[in-house]
Structure 1
Amino acid sequence: MGWGTLMAYLFVPDMLVGRAAEFVQLANARLASLISAPEVKDSDRVFAFPLIDVLRAFAAISVVVYHVIEFFEWKSYPVTGFLLWFRIGWMGVDLFFVISGFVIGLSAFRRLDRRGPRQARAEFVRHRLARIVPLHYLTCLFFVAFITPAIMFSNGFWAQIVSHALFVHNLIPEHHRAINNVNWTLGVEMQFYLLIFIGVVWLRRAKPWLILALGLSITWIWRSVAFAHIPANDPVGVDALFMAVTQLPGMLDEFTFGLLLARIVVAPRGQRLLAAIAPYAWIVVAMAGLVVWAILTVFWMAPAYWTSWKMVVLFRTLIGVGAAACVLATITIRSRILLLLTAPVRYLGTISYGIYLWHLLVILSLHRVPGMTPQLALPVVLAMTFVLAAVSWHYFERPILRRYAHAVPK
């Protein structure tokens, strides 16, 4: 029964006779649906990790606040305490990549186990295209129309359109952050999907240590070569080095950590391990917190970033370790009370893709307002971004997913 039946019971007295027990059951069921993850089959419940959306929300908000601080040159923003995190909120992207490695790997491995390679790949492509492409195209359209309309009259406009449509804009210096600056990450993400499409069978069966060794080796070699050939002595050099080391080979370590967590979850031994440590989840959370604290301490103690080989080549691997620790801690928690308390935050995680793609349009629009201060801009940016993300999710993204993909969060 749905809300219509429930309202009928409330407002039609004749229907209330003898229905008290049924009404209680209905109310309890509705309450349970509100505080739990999207409904899943019993066979799938072991693979449901709704608190991952808390991490998604945190990552998205971290990026948003970081960009407000940077674009509005918020010099008085706190430099101590928890709020200091948002000065390095760009690390939210690294958290996103580890989460993506885990979630995409888990989905691909389970499809492979149930459907076989051919059908698994077909479903994977359909779902990923339906999830990523529409909002990317929509936000690019809005960005060009309302933020950078002059680009439509430039000589390279159609090349920009093609590169962004094909998700290769991150590979071209002139296109890297030309339309909706933050979507360079979508190029990296889509290229990771291509890697999964090609290598899912091997990634499902290979020894975890071999996957880790290859992921780290490729990443460290790529970053080392980039560091050796691109001097970062000025802003132009820093930008060029940033673009080089954030290509897929340079971020492969973070995706690899997520993939290995997915391998743990799909393995019977890994499932038994997670079940065994579930009663001690808060110890795992505390340990993850210590790992993150140690990594951030290393960052703040470093005298420089882009001119240090250790920082450019190795530090993002440490970020990946910290992010993986957070994901591991999150998937060990099985608390219905925590699900209830985090329901609003989990909703933000559900719409986090929209938060990420819409927020820069809002920031750049407000940046044009004379006298706009960062203190005033921040709450407005958050509110407007949340609204845009919610609207696009409910009336654009989710309908497309329902039509072209098998399942969608409610």
Structure 2
Amino acid sequence: MQENANERVGAADLPALTALRGVAALGVALFHINVCLYYREMGTLLPKTASGVIANGYLWVDLFFILSGYVIHHAYRERLSSGRLGARAAAFYRARFVRIYPLHLVLTALLVVAATVAGALWPMLKDGSWETFFAWSALPSNLLLTHAMNQHSYLSWNIVSWSIAAEWWCYAAALLAVPLMVRFGRWSGAACIAAGVAILVGLYFSLGRGTLDITYDFGIVRCLGGFLIGLGLYQICRVDASLPARVADGLAAASIAGVVAVMHVGGLDLLAIPLFAVLVAALGASGGWTHRWFSSSILQYLGRISYSIYLVHGLVFLGFWYAAPALGWQLDTPAKAWLFAAAFLALTIAGACLTYHLIEAPSLKWARSRRASAPQDRRAQAPVSEAEALQTE
């Protein structure tokens, strides 16, 4: 008798999706490594004429949005659909704030200090990008998490944090959509997915840029589309749904191959969205070889520190961006470009390990201690385990 996915994967934990976050974070990092190499005239990791797998890596961000909606629905479903709206909204946003904001704040502050000191000591670093990346007028929007709302015509400070800002405001969709889906049944998720797809398709064609690489201007719209797809996807295929492990594994493998093909060819970005959705649903349910592979200790750890990887690599990008011309790096062979990438990733992962253990984990521990001492009605709305608290971008 073939085992079902739900016989192997507990309802409280989604280990394959935890690992997938780490893989996606590294994919985004590779994309930005390639951006740094290309715009600093040091070549590319892979010529786009040969393959766009790395050059189109901005699409991994859309996977993050779908993942976030799926896992937020999984982690908060019961608490978002019971109790008074004001109380559950306050508890939900309090939990999410503790999860995402401390690291964002510390890294932004670190970047402010570093830019101030470096600009004073080495004024030769101040090329045409300096005033853009370190625009003081953009700092308030970075701190208020509004820098993905077309307030500026450029990326600023921690250039990857626009997506964190966009997602913060999209959490309101979970407060509204999850209770409605609980009330109207599983297939109400289809309406939520349709809304998300309509938003992404409308954004893609209305802007006419031929890409989903949309960040500081309409990033919040892009995020909302993917987030709604994730919310609805969980409603349709929750982890308690019966799905043969062999089928889930096959869907996961096929969707991975499809995503790689879309990025390789550099075709219509929108084609990646349904593939990401299938991948998330399949890995969320898989109890076979994909579950075992993604449950390896290395991938699980990368998944746990994926939020740190994502935000830290933004700082590493800026460091390498200014170090390359200042030090006169000449990466005239593919081997040197990949050595550059290895150094970038090593520094990113090392920094992420530090920030996770010094900032993220203590923040979560503090939140859990507050929950333990809170009155019963407040405890019912707060994350009940580290596994749930870890569910983020």
Could you tell me the TM-score, scaled by structure 1's length?
0.71
- 2:299 aligns to what? 345
Distance 1:157 1:404 in 2: 33
Within 5 Å, give how 1:66-77 maps onto structure 2. Answer: 66-73=31-38, 74-75=42-43, 77=45
* Distance 1:78-1:340 versus aligned 2 partners, 3 A rule: closer
> 2:138 aligned with 1:171, yes or no?
no
Shift of 1:218: 3.4
Contact 2:70 2:230 in 1 (8 A): yes
Residue 90 of structure 1 aligns to a residue whose secondary structure is: helix
> 2:235 aligned with 1:257, yes or no?
no
Letter of the aligned partner of 2:66 in structure 1?
A: V
> Number of residues paired by the alignment?
339
Larger C-alpha radius of gyration, 1 or 2?
A: 1
Distance 1:68 1:89 in 2: 10
- 2:310 aligns to what? 356
Letter of the aligned partner of 1:194 in structure 2?
A: A
Letter of the aligned partner of 2:250 in structure 1?
A: I
Residue 53 of structure 2 aligns to a residue whose secondary structure is: helix
Shift of 1:111: 1.9
1:329 to 278, 282, 299: 282
1:220 to 201, 204, 207: 201
Provide Cα deviations, 1:49-91, integer angstroms capped at 9, x if missing partner.
1111221111111111111122022535334999852232211
- Select between 63-72 and 172-181 the one with higher mean Cα deviation: 172-181
The share of aligned pairs that are identical, in percent, is: 24
> 2:36 aligned with 1:58, yes or no?
no
Distance 2:245 2:50 in 1: 27
* Distance 1:371-1:100 versus aligned 2 partners, 3 A rule: same
- 1:389 aligns to what? 352
Residue 52 of structure 1 aligns to a residue whose secondary structure is: helix
> 2:220 aligned with 1:248, yes or no?
yes
- Select between 198-207 and 163-172 the one with higher mean Cα deviation: 198-207
Shift of 1:264: 2.8
Residue 357 of structure 2 aligns to a residue whose secondary structure is: helix
> 2:77 aligned with 1:109, yes or no?
yes
Structure 1 unaligned residues grouped into runs of 5+? 1-41, 303-310
Structure with the bigger RCO (C-alpha within 8 Å, sep 6+) is 2
- 2:372 aligns to what? none
Structure 2 unaligned residues grouped into runs of 5+? 1-6, 120-125, 332-336, 369-382
Shift of 1:158: 6.1
Residue 400 of structure 1 aligns to a residue whose secondary structure is: helix
Letter of the aligned partner of 1:197 in structure 2?
A: L
Shift of 1:92: 1.4
Letter of the aligned partner of 1:376 in structure 2?
A: L
Letter of the aligned partner of 1:88 in structure 2?
A: N
Could you tell me the TM-score, scaled by structure 2's length?
0.74
Provide Cα deviations, 1:2-43, integer angstroms capped at 9, x if missing partner.
xxxxxxxxxxxxxxxxxxxxxxxxxxxxxxxxxxxxxxxx9x
Contact 1:292 1:322 in 2 (8 A): yes
Contact 1:216 1:252 in 2 (8 A): no
- 1:281 aligns to what? 248
**CA RMSD in angstroms, aligned pairs only:** 3.6
* Distance 1:294-1:161 versus aligned 2 partners, 3 A rule: closer
Distance 1:183 1:173 in 2: 14
Distance 2:139 2:222 in 1: 25
Contact 1:177 1:183 in 2 (8 A): no
- Structure number having the greater helix percentage: 1
